Chain A
Amino acid sequence: MSDNILNVSRRGFLQGIVSTGALVLSVRMIPEVLWAAETSAGSHADRAVLRPSVFVGIDTDGTVYLVAHRSEMGTSSRTSVPLILADELDADWKRVKIEQAMGDPRYGSQDTDGSHSVRDGFTTMREAGATARLMLTQAAAQKWGVPVSECESDLHVIVHRPSKRKAGYGELASAAAKLPVPKKEDLQFKPKSAWRYIGKGTSSYDLVDLCTGKAGFGMDARLDGMVYASIEHPPVLGGKVKSYDEKAPLQVKGVKQTIPIKPFTPPHHFQPLGGVAVIADNSWAAFQGRKKLNVAWDNGANASYNSDQYKKELQDTARKPGKVVRNIGDVDTAFAKGGKVIAADYYVPLLAHATMEPPVALADYRDGKVTVWAPTQNPQAVQETVGEELGIPKENVTCHVTLLGGGFGRKSKPDYAAEAAILSKAVGKPVKVVWSREDDIKFGYYHAVAAMYMKALVDEKGKPTAWLQRSVFPPIGSTFALNTTYGDAGEMGLGWTDLPFDIPNHRAENGPAENHVRIGWFRSVANIYHAFAAQSFANELAHASGRDSVEYLLELIGPARIIDVKASAPDYDNYDGSPAEYPLDTARMRRVVELAAEKAGWGKRKMGKGSGMGIAVHRSFLTYVATVAEVEVDDKGEVKIPAVHTAVDAGTVVNPEATRAQFEGAAVFGTSIVRSGAITAKNGVIEQSNFHDYPVARMNEAPYKTSVYMVDSDAPPAGVGEPGVPPFAPAVCNAIFAATGKRIRELPLSKSSANT
């Protein structure tokens, strides 16, 4: 195949679009901005003159290189985390260059999930910034022969206050580099009043590139002489290749060879699924070649998996006593006394991440070492997984992190990067593995399907005196260890053991469930089904007693207090946040409920026929979120969401603009969950394949306007990427009830009888 330029207009030349070579394919296209700086010799930050920390380097020209050690998947981590350092350094953001870190343990954890990049980086980045600032200040004082205490920073310069002398950071870098790195205890952080960027925020560092097609995603990585691969995976988890046609795919123009990939050794962990790869000189030819493989499969035990049957099993399990994960008082004795009992079942199906950029990775294996370019949330996991798959030390795996076209937890699992590495070794060339959308939907690490059973005994005012909640789902632990059927403390702590309701007899349980597909983290994880059940049920109780939903919810939360969750749920991990720094504070939870209700005009606006408002509140990733959704339901049951009002207390907010965007986006992500998201299996094979049968919210279906209200807070920063999702579905379903009297207990609406 060849492509030739017949003539080049002046415009083409001027814009530099066209290379001089006839074969543009042979040109190295990896953009300088993202990747070229990170050679194995280190980053610009490493090579800079003043380098007081792995996260910052300052050159004599005054350029400040900041290292983004977390991945950018749209949450603004790559901007917001370095921004903290820039603020503490008192650097001019216009003179900052951000470099994306390769996978390297010297940066600490690079795992970009759990909404904890800003939270983890807040102190680390300020320490690095304060260190550099102090060294520059000391160098200036030395230069002028004045006390350090008379000098201070002022946007990229150090000023000697009495004499008003000034010296730029670049000018001071060499002298500062000769000074010893100060001890942590000698550092002084700027007061909040002096923050330039924290709390004001800034646009994405990559904003212009993202709007001009120049940004480098994993899908865009290219190397000289690379080939493309597409893999026919076993249709059933754990399936094995019996036979396939090696020759037929070669009839497709551009296809070069086929390569079998060995099946994984259970548990699957991050191992490739196995199957047969087709290697070609473009992605599409590789896709076409797969159609001629004619693979015969040994599907294995998971071929008995049918979602309809499995759903019944989960629901049956949810009706039986499970493992107690939290206990307050004595639910059994309370129920035995009798009274008004209300019970309900809830159900949320398997969900697929459906990142707009499907899994993709480029690997180049040479002489026992491999370099990988991948859109990954966790480059160190890439190093470990690839190292294990190739039988080489992880230090021999270099992982460059590209921009991610969405992550949502899918790209925490580097099976696709391992595939690229295995194939590069087999082919002897750089290989880019490209997953099709069908591959993405059919071979995900799905959000767990879950059944919840809720039961409450209420007094004459409708307030619960006993509350039992039980959830059953195939746990994420099944990805890492065989025979794992119960959720771990982490999953149970995601909105189940930490439900902050003021009820004297309260028990949370978890029942067992086997996995038959890969289960993994998905934006806000178990909070989705836990919040759906708890917040829907709370609303059912409110209506059962004729009470106002907001007033009732506040009564359930009870008075302002700090809840010691561990007293009733000993395994509770509070998102690894210390209870001192991140207590479960019902005052903050009440405040977001009140704020969302006030902003929505709750109780003050007359809603028309078929319209209604619903509220839900949830704390996740240490952030408190209350959402009021407005819905309009037409005669055909079609649901529109004209407005969403979300109140957020995320502690100190580093980047308000990015935070607002995360909560707007969470409402759309939540809309997909409410309206249409459902993955199902028949005979172990996933039935959905692309956006026609796994629809996600489109513009005409998304909330028309999501308003985000942030509580001003001096509390330490908490998460913002995920916490908007959990309260969204119950808020919408509670609104649908208010509008129509129909209670949604099963998601999505398209599968729920209440939609008709």
Chain B
Amino acid sequence: MMQIKVNDVARSFDGDPNLPLLWYLRDVLGLTGTKFGCGMALCGACTVHQDGKAIRSCVTSVSAAAGKEITTIEAISKNGLHVVQQKWIEYNVPQCGYCQSGQIMQAISLLKEKPRPSDEDIDGGMSGNICRCGTYQRIRAAIKAAAGEQA
């Protein structure tokens, strides 16, 4: 029996310990805001926070996340929208939107580490997250705007 905390809810799980966290969140818990894109940590669609830091849930087993605090897009903000989400909305970032949960989770994590990220910081922090619609220009602008607001 593994114990894991997801969005402030402590849970126990007795299924396959190798089950990736992504599928635990999506198929077992029904938290479908976190997306499947590649299964190999190549695209970032599955990004969630583990103890506040961005991880790829598609290659993190439930057993590896046991005892940790997992936060998904559904619970990223305690009060209304997170400033990153607000800027995503203000800059009309999403097109199809499928990758954007992961992009937002990655961006929040980046801004925690680098509150005033340079272009290189943004490239470094965000290049693991693929957007096939090509919203990168707006993602960059939204991150800079969120950094400005946070500061």
Contacts and interface: CB of A to CB of B under 8 A. Distances in A.
A5 B5 CA distance: 9
A459 B24 CA distance: 69
A696 B94 CA distance: 18
B109 interface: no
Contacts of A405: 35, 96-99
Given A12-B7, A356-B131, A705-B137, A207 B28 contact: no
State which size class the interface on A falls in. 35 or more
Contacts of A698: 127-130, 136
Contact of B135 (A5, A27, A664): A664
Contacts of A706: 137
A324 B129 CA distance: 46
A24 B30 contact: yes
A8 interface: yes
Contacts of B100: 210-211
Contacts of A702: 134, 136-137
A253 B15 contact: yes
Contact of A691 (B28, B96, B122, B130): B130
B23 A207 contact: no
Contact of A661 (B32, B37, B92, B123): B92
A657 B26 CA distance: 33
Contacts of A15: 7, 74-75
Interface in B83-121: 85, 88-89, 92-101, 104, 119
Interface in B5-50: 7-16, 19-20, 22-24, 26-40, 42-43, 45
Nearest to A208: B89
A690 B42 contact: yes
Contacts of A72: 96
Given A29-B32, A219-B36, A706-B137, A75 B95 contact: yes
Contacts of B29: 3, 24
B144 interface: no
A664 B137 contact: yes
B30 A222 contact: yes
A661 B95 CA distance: 8
Nearest to A644: B137
Nearest to B8: A9
B12 A4 contact: yes
Contacts of B31: 17, 213
A354 interface: yes
A748 interface: no
Given A12-B7, A691-B40, A666 B30 contact: no
Contacts of B81: 208, 211-212
Contact of A74 (B78, B97, B126, B129): B97
B74 A691 contact: no
A594 B78 CA distance: 51
A691 B99 CA distance: 14
Contacts of B56: none
Nearest to A254: B16
Interface residues of B, number: 73
Interface string B58-85: 0000000000000011110010010001
Contacts, number: 244
- Please report whether the interface of chain A is mostly helix, strand, loop or mixed according to DSSP: loop
A284 B104 CA distance: 25
Contacts of A253: 15-16
A437 B78 CA distance: 34
A228 interface: yes
Interface string A635-667: 000000000000000000000010001101111
Contact of A29 (B30, B88, B95, B126): B30
Nearest to A203: B92
Nearest to B137: A664
B99 to A, nearest CB: 5
A355 interface: yes
B85 A211 contact: yes
Nearest to A661: B95
A700 interface: yes
Nearest to A2: B14
Interface string A1-41: 11111111101100101100000110101000000000000
A12 B10 CA distance: 10
B92 A17 contact: no
B28 A3 contact: yes
A5 B11 contact: yes
A664 B134 contact: yes
Contact of A666 (B19, B123, B134): B134
A24 B28 contact: yes
Given A211-B85, A403-B97, A17 B28 contact: no
Contact of B139 (A12, A699, A705): A699
A557 B35 CA distance: 47
B142 to A, nearest CB: 10
Contact of B9 (A7, A75, A703): A7
A167 B94 CA distance: 38
A1 B140 contact: no
Nearest to B86: A211
A214 interface: yes
A358 interface: yes
A697 interface: yes
Contact of A254 (B15, B22, B74, B104): B15
A579 to B, nearest CB: 32
A328 interface: no
A720 to B, nearest CB: 12
B53 interface: no
Nearest to A692: B42
Contacts of B127: 698-701
A7 B23 CA distance: 22
A171 to B, nearest CB: 33
A640 to B, nearest CB: 11
Contact of B133 (A211, A437, A438, A665): A665
A285 interface: yes
A649 B134 CA distance: 21
A11 B10 contact: no
B33 A406 contact: no
Contact of B38 (A406, A408, A437, A667): A437
A453 interface: no
Contacts of A24: 28-30
A219 B40 contact: no
A403 B28 CA distance: 22
A568 interface: no
Contacts of A6: 3, 9-12
A664 B94 CA distance: 12
Contact of B89 (A211, A358, A438, A664): A211
A214 to B, nearest CB: 7
B66 to A, nearest CB: 13
A667 B135 CA distance: 10
A302 interface: no
A115 to B, nearest CB: 14
B32 A699 contact: no
A357 interface: yes
B74 A283 contact: no
A204 B94 contact: yes
A175 interface: no
Given A219-B98, A669-B134, 16 more contacts: A3-B11, A4-B11, A11-B8, A15-B75, A74-B97, A211-B89, A212-B81, A214-B33, A219-B35, A357-B37, A405-B98, A406-B132, A437-B42, A437-B43, A664-B138, A667-B134
20 contacts: A1-B13, A15-B74, A17-B31, A18-B9, A24-B29, A25-B28, A211-B88, A211-B93, A211-B94, A211-B97, A212-B33, A213-B31, A213-B73, A213-B74, A213-B101, A356-B98, A356-B131, A356-B133, A436-B39, A698-B129
A-B residue pairs, 6 tightest by C-beta: A213-B33, A668-B134, A405-B98, A74-B96, A210-B97, A74-B95
